[in-house]
Chain A
Amino acid sequence: MSSLMQPAAPAPHPSAAAARGLDLVKVYGQGDAAVRALDGVSIEFAPGQFSAIMGPSGSGKSTLMHCMAGLDTITSGQVFVGDVELSSLHDKELTRLRRDKIGFIFQAYNLVPTLTAAENITLPMDIAGRKPDQVWVDRLIDTVGLRQRLSHRPSELSGGQQQRVAAARALASRPNIVFADEPTGNLDSRSSAEVLGFLRKSVHEFDQTVVMVTHDPSAASYAERVVFLADGRIVDEMTAPTAERVLDRMKGLGD
């Protein structure tokens, strides 16, 4: 039916994208103090693609990620993860969506301190009360190289090891999409390279969709596509980025 009509506005329909946002507007505050963190952003993340979102502080890149991941609500527009539209979901459904369809890697405090590395990796499945796919989990553990550290608690792991555990956890439940928020923000360059290498590998070898927010051009260079945000709008896009090209573009944005 819808294909016969001229769509005045993009209608919700099943899409091939792992996640997409349509006309996203996010306003913080009211009246004179209102800030438009997102000002009409439309974006798609194709399955099996490694995307980076870049932009100066206050550009709205973190807000975009939080809204796409169901952590924050949008003022207007539509967010789809797979073919599920988020604005109609209540907390319970959003929670289940995050648990089953989305993987998260944060900048820091990614792990539950009372759980071992192994327990942290399978946490979302354990919360759901599901048995993890052990073959898949074993493969992830070997890929991140943490076989020897599985029974350690986070306080006994280095920062890089902790982020690798977090990355393995993000992938363990085979989510539709992994959101990484400045995953290397607290790491030295060697540990950063390990974590980013793993993310790229997960895209290439496991066909995982990854979206990473970063302000580090060399981190962005691991992605296949970089989206540039400024003042709540998408201002540019780049495929096959290199660190130099990203840095040049960022200079233009005044970061």
Chain B
Amino acid sequence: MVRAVLKGVLAHKLRLFLTAIAVVLGVAFVAGTFVLTDTINRTFDTLFDEVSADTDISVRAASGFGEDAPIDSLRDTVPASVLDAVRRVPGVQAAEPTVTGYAMFIDEAGKAVTTSGAPTLGFNWTDPGLSPLTLRSGREPQRSGEVVVDAVTAKDHDFALGDKVKVLFRGPTEEFTVVGITGFGEADNLAGATLAIFDLTTAQRVFGKAGRFDSIEARATEGLSSLELRDRVAAAVPSGVEVVTSQEVADESADAVQQGLGFFSTFLLVFAGIALFVGGFIILNTFSILVAQRTRELALLRALGASRRQVMASVIAEAFLVGLFASLVGLGLGVLVALGLQSLLKAFGIDLPASGVVIQPRTIIASLIVGVGVTVISSISPARKASKIAPMAALRGGGIEQGGSLRRRSLAGAVVTALGGAALLSGLFGGTISLVGLGAAVVFVGVALLSPLAAVPMARVIGAPFPRIAGMAGKLGRQNAMRNPRRTAATAAALTVGLGLVACVSVLAASIKASAADIVDEYLAADYIISTTNFLPSISTELAPRLARAPELAAVSGLQTGDWRSAGQTQSIYGADPASVGQVLKLDVTAGDIGGLARGDVLVGEEELKDKKLEIGTMLAMTFARTGEKELRIAGTFAKNQLLGSYVVSTATFDANFSDRLDFVVLAKAREGVAPAEARAAVERVTADFPNVELRDQSEFKQQQEDQVNQILGLVTALLMLSIIIALFGIVNTLALSIFERTRELGLLRAVGMSRRQVRSMIRGESVIIAVLGAILGLGVGVLFGYAIVGALDDEGIGKVVVPAGQLLTYVFLAGLAGVAAAVFPARRAARLDVLAAISYE
């Protein structure tokens, strides 16, 4: 039996390949995600270990958020006196202070040197023995006006020793001379971040931390453990200052990276899962067709004494072999993909220290289990069908028509669809994401069960113009698509999943875009929006005051945002200038007094006030990372404003509780009667000095919001493309198997005068019908999903559902084109069929 299975698999290498490819691609996605994130993780671990390798302990201000403070929460600085205290502790061999802050280079052309997401870091030069910096050329910065640049930035922007470069800070922009170029350990920079290194005094000045340090790094004398040193130093520093081992700092950083990568890998794995789900449909369909075509062979095995169980086992064993083979290939491909992505990161300027590709046992096990699992599970139903073949079928000949009535199947489909829909909705409105995913998957299965019912009438309609376009070939293509509704529907179902999700995301995106424009109209009063491309908080605090001095502008307000905690719950808070915020935002203070902001009070959103049962005039305890718990009086409430969150304080209050304040947006309103061109010119005169910001008016801002949504839509669509490609391979596979099955018929058609071109056009017709059928079903399901999700997001300000009909029609058209592409190979095979061999084929 085993030998029979093996021979069966090897006898149909092409079929094996086409079936396996669905699994290969899915598994490659899974493996690639794991390998990439594991490798990046390991890389950062190495990096952080390297950073802390030369030091034993780190002394820093304690976080108001306590022990579990996130790595990026902003701590207070420590006074310079702490350094002396640390140095006096017996066992401290050396101690060096660190001051760090925002520093962005400006290149020769006056453009800001931005990164793809990584920070633009500035800090002070420390004793090489306590720092991972490795000077590549030049010397360390010794006095005011000198800077050392990381090697990547220097290379990319032609910064050479002796060059004058401008650097942008929270405060005024300054000019420096490049005196050195440095690496970070082995690497040329710190994982994509730009580095600007100054002498300690300059760093303290430009970062606004005169007389203070962010942290102090110290090394123990020979023979003293870091733990021992930590305890000794801890006893010597004032309260509010904590001492941690360098290893702990490295671990904190590594954990933060790991957490971030965790989201990233979950995000990718969702798409890998979708691809595998689609692959499952294709495997199910392929094995169903194979079993039907091998009826005689299987019946012969039964006639020769094989038991039902053995026949079933033989089909499952074949699936197992295909799955194993595909998983192994997918694993290899995944490693290659991860390597490719890594070089891609490098091309984006993220130079990570080499640590080799990390292939964890988990990656291998997960890839094999997932790949083999999907294949085997998908083959169970065809295997059961195979086991029901009667030995007599060997004598009757011909393929079996798949049994079971469509009515029963459709009933099951309706029930499954309803259950899936219910799960989806309860997940959406209950906020359980995994239930949403499960529900969606179940709905797709239900639709796949239902779709054979729709396949014939839909194929008739979709193919209606074919006879007119391609004559008899078109007519035959259409009828071939209708002759086996289960096969057509199952093949189309794979495409339904991918396009369903694309349609859902498209509806969501269109709705968000429409709502975003509404939000701008409803909540924004400013004429000009000044921000960085990604709305990162990196606008110099100089900008807003300088703009405010322009006579063409009536009101200017910079906005800040940060996190605060209450009872373990992290929430956002916004800082704004109380004098002008009401003019740049349509801030509707419904109760209380906005004037309270200037006195250090907090404004709370109406709904939040109600939800948290807060009262105007009472004190609200808010915990900040830098300053710990503070009591703020609730000055009043304001009507929901999508641009402002639920808690607003004055910029002064914000400054008092957060360090390194930078605006994430500056809003400006033109003075009444000033021509737009004039007002804009006034803004531009100021922003010219801050090359990292972009200026937009309201319509440009709406456009940018739209562009951002489009960007995300593009990314998600690209990730869904994989499952669509897999579905197209499914069409190729089905067509190839159908052609094999219809060899005699094709031979007859060729014999009685059908040209090769007509044969190709016939196959193409069938393919286009399957693809368009799958697309239409998918778009239908996807639009319904879109309605459900937008409905659930009502609270987030997405008020109305927008169905981008033109876009969806384009998808149908593209699906048709994809159908043409999927038919190329099968059509060529069919057209090249040897007529004589085909008609004498038994």
Q: Do A and B come from one complex?
A: yes
Bound: A112/B473 CA distance, A: 12
B745 sits at the interface (CB 8 A) = yes
Bound: A96/B758 CA distance, A: 12
Which residues between 428 and 484 of chain B lie within 8 Å of chain A, taking CB atoms?
471-473, 475-476, 479-480, 482-483
B744 sits at the interface (CB 8 A) = yes
Complex contact B752–A123 (CB within 8 A) = yes
What is the distance, in angstroms, from B366's C-beta to the closest C-beta of chain A? 45
Tell which of B476, B482, B749, B755 touches A96, judged by Cβ atoms closer than 8 Å. B755
Complex contact B753–A112 (CB within 8 A) = no
Complex contact A106–B748 (CB within 8 A) = yes
Which residues between 16 and 55 of chain A lie within 8 Å of chain B, taking CB atoms?
none
Complex contact B753–A109 (CB within 8 A) = no
Nearest residue, chain B, Cβ from A92? B755
Complex contact B472–A98 (CB within 8 A) = no
A58 sits at the interface (CB 8 A) = no
A126 sits at the interface (CB 8 A) = yes
Tell which of A72, A95, A114, A126 touches B750, judged by Cβ atoms closer than 8 Å. A95
Q: Which A residues touch B482, using CB under 8 A? A: 114
Complex contact A112–B749 (CB within 8 A) = yes
Complex contact B748–A95 (CB within 8 A) = no
B290 sits at the interface (CB 8 A) = no
Interface residues as binary, A84-124 with B (CB distance below 8 Å gives 1, 0 otherwise): 00000001100110111000101001111111000000011
Complex contact B479–A114 (CB within 8 A) = yes
Nearest residue, chain B, Cβ from A106? B839
Tell which of A72, A109, A114, A128 touches B836, judged by Cβ atoms closer than 8 Å. A72
Tell which of B480, B752, B753, B754 touches A114, judged by Cβ atoms closer than 8 Å. B480
B14 sits at the interface (CB 8 A) = no
B591 sits at the interface (CB 8 A) = no
A249 sits at the interface (CB 8 A) = no
Complex contact B751–A71 (CB within 8 A) = yes
Q: Which B residues touch A164, using CB under 8 A? A: none
A129 sits at the interface (CB 8 A) = yes
Complex contact A127–B751 (CB within 8 A) = no
Q: Which A residues touch B751, using CB under 8 A? A: 71, 98, 104, 106
Q: Which A residues touch B471, using CB under 8 A? A: 126-127, 129
A66 sits at the interface (CB 8 A) = yes
Complex contact B472–A123 (CB within 8 A) = yes
Nearest residue, chain A, Cβ from B755? A95
Q: Which B residues touch A99, using CB under 8 A? A: 752-754
Nearest residue, chain B, Cβ from A109? B744
Complex contact A126–B836 (CB within 8 A) = no
Complex contact B745–A112 (CB within 8 A) = yes
User: Which of B483, B752, B758, B839 has the most chain A CB within a 10 Å cutoff?
Assistant: B752
Bound: A113/B741 CA distance, A: 13
Complex contact A98–B752 (CB within 8 A) = yes
Complex contact A127–B753 (CB within 8 A) = yes
Complex contact B752–A66 (CB within 8 A) = no
Complex contact A112–B476 (CB within 8 A) = yes
Bound: A169/B751 CA distance, A: 12
Interface residues as binary, B464-507 with A (CB distance below 8 Å gives 1, 0 otherwise): 00000001110110011011000000000000000000000000
Q: Which B residues touch A114, using CB under 8 A? A: 476, 479-480, 482-483
Q: Which A residues touch B836, using CB under 8 A? A: 66, 71-72
Q: Which A residues touch B472, using CB under 8 A? A: 123, 126-127, 129
What is the distance, in angstroms, from A177's C-beta to the closest C-beta of chain B? 14
B835 sits at the interface (CB 8 A) = yes
B756 sits at the interface (CB 8 A) = yes
Complex contact A127–B754 (CB within 8 A) = yes
Known: A66-B836, A72-B836, A115-B479. A127 touches B745 (CB 8 A): no
Q: Which A residues touch B752, using CB under 8 A? A: 98-99, 104, 123-124, 127, 169
Which residues between 57 and 98 of chain A lie within 8 Å of chain B, taking CB atoms?
66, 71-72, 91-92, 95-96, 98
Interface residues as binary, A165-205 with B (CB distance below 8 Å gives 1, 0 otherwise): 00001000000000000000000000000000000000000
What is the distance, in angstroms, from A73's C-beta to the closest C-beta of chain B? 9
Nearest residue, chain A, Cβ from B470? A129
Q: Which A residues touch B758, using CB under 8 A? A: 127
Nearest residue, chain B, Cβ from A63? B836
Nearest residue, chain A, Cβ from B835? A71
Bound: A96/B751 CA distance, A: 10
Bound: A215/B755 CA distance, A: 32
Q: Which A residues touch B749, using CB under 8 A? A: 112, 123, 127
Q: Which B residues touch A104, using CB under 8 A? A: 751-752
What is the distance, in angstroms, from A139's C-beta to the closest C-beta of chain B? 20
What is the distance, in angstroms, from A10's C-beta to the closest C-beta of chain B? 26
Bound: A126/B472 CA distance, A: 6
Bound: A238/B500 CA distance, A: 71
What is the distance, in angstroms, from B224's C-beta to the closest C-beta of chain A? 88
Interface residues as binary, B736-772 with A (CB distance below 8 Å gives 1, 0 otherwise): 0000000011001111111110100000000000000
Bound: A95/B755 CA distance, A: 6
Known: A71-B835, A106-B839, A123-B472. A112 touches B748 (CB 8 A): yes
Interface residues as binary, A126-146 with B (CB distance below 8 Å gives 1, 0 otherwise): 111100000000000000000
Nearest residue, chain A, Cβ from B754? A127
Interface residues as binary, B630-665 with A (CB distance below 8 Å gives 1, 0 otherwise): 000000000000000000000000000000000000
What is the distance, in angstroms, from B400's C-beta to the closest C-beta of chain A? 14
Interface residues as binary, B46-83 with A (CB distance below 8 Å gives 1, 0 otherwise): 00000000000000000000000000000000000000
What is the distance, in angstroms, from B778's C-beta to the closest C-beta of chain A? 26
What is the distance, in angstroms, from B520's C-beta to the closest C-beta of chain A? 57
Bound: A221/B754 CA distance, A: 33
Bound: A111/B754 CA distance, A: 14
Q: Which B residues touch A109, using CB under 8 A? A: 744-745, 748, 839
Q: Which A residues touch B835, using CB under 8 A? A: 71
Q: Which A residues touch B753, using CB under 8 A? A: 95-96, 98-100, 124, 127-128
What is the distance, in angstroms, from B61's C-beta to the closest C-beta of chain A? 80
Bound: A106/B475 CA distance, A: 23
User: Which of A91, A113, A127 has the most chain B CB within a 10 Å cutoff?
Assistant: A127
User: Which of B473, B475, B476, B480 has the most chain A CB within a 10 Å cutoff?
Assistant: B476
Bound: A72/B476 CA distance, A: 26
Which residues between 544 and 562 of chain B lie within 8 Å of chain A, taking CB atoms?
none
Q: Which A residues touch B756, using CB under 8 A? A: 91-92, 95
Q: Which A residues touch B475, using CB under 8 A? A: 126
Nearest residue, chain A, Cβ from B747? A109
Q: Which B residues touch A100, using CB under 8 A? A: 753
What is the distance, in angstroms, from A99's C-beta to the closest C-beta of chain B? 2
Nearest residue, chain A, Cβ from B757? A92
What is the distance, in angstroms, from A227's C-beta to the closest C-beta of chain B? 21
Bound: A92/B751 CA distance, A: 12
Bound: A123/B754 CA distance, A: 9
Bound: A98/B755 CA distance, A: 10
User: Which of B472, B475, B479 has the most chain A CB within a 10 Å cutoff?
Assistant: B472
Nearest residue, chain A, Cβ from B752? A124
Complex contact B748–A110 (CB within 8 A) = yes
What is the distance, in angstroms, from B402's C-beta to the closest C-beta of chain A? 16
Bound: A126/B762 CA distance, A: 13
What is the distance, in angstroms, from B792's C-beta to the closest C-beta of chain A? 46
Which residues between 788 and 836 of chain B lie within 8 Å of chain A, taking CB atoms?
835-836
Nearest residue, chain B, Cβ from A181? B839
Bound: A4/B373 CA distance, A: 82
Nearest residue, chain A, Cβ from B749? A112
Can you list 23 pairs linking A and B with CB atoms under 8 Å apart?
A66-B836, A71-B836, A71-B839, A91-B756, A98-B751, A99-B754, A104-B751, A106-B751, A106-B839, A111-B748, A112-B745, A114-B476, A114-B480, A123-B752, A126-B471, A126-B475, A127-B472, A127-B473, A127-B749, A127-B755, A127-B758, A128-B753, A129-B472
Binding site for A on B (CB under 8 A): 471-473, 475-476, 479-480, 482-483, 744-745, 748-756, 758, 835-836, 839
Minimum-distance CB pairs A-B, first 10: A99-B753, A114-B479, A126-B472, A109-B744, A127-B472, A95-B755, A124-B753, A98-B753, A129-B471, A124-B752
New contact pairs (6) apart from A112-B749, A114-B480, CB-CB < 8 Å: A104-B751, A106-B751, A123-B749, A126-B471, A126-B472, A127-B749
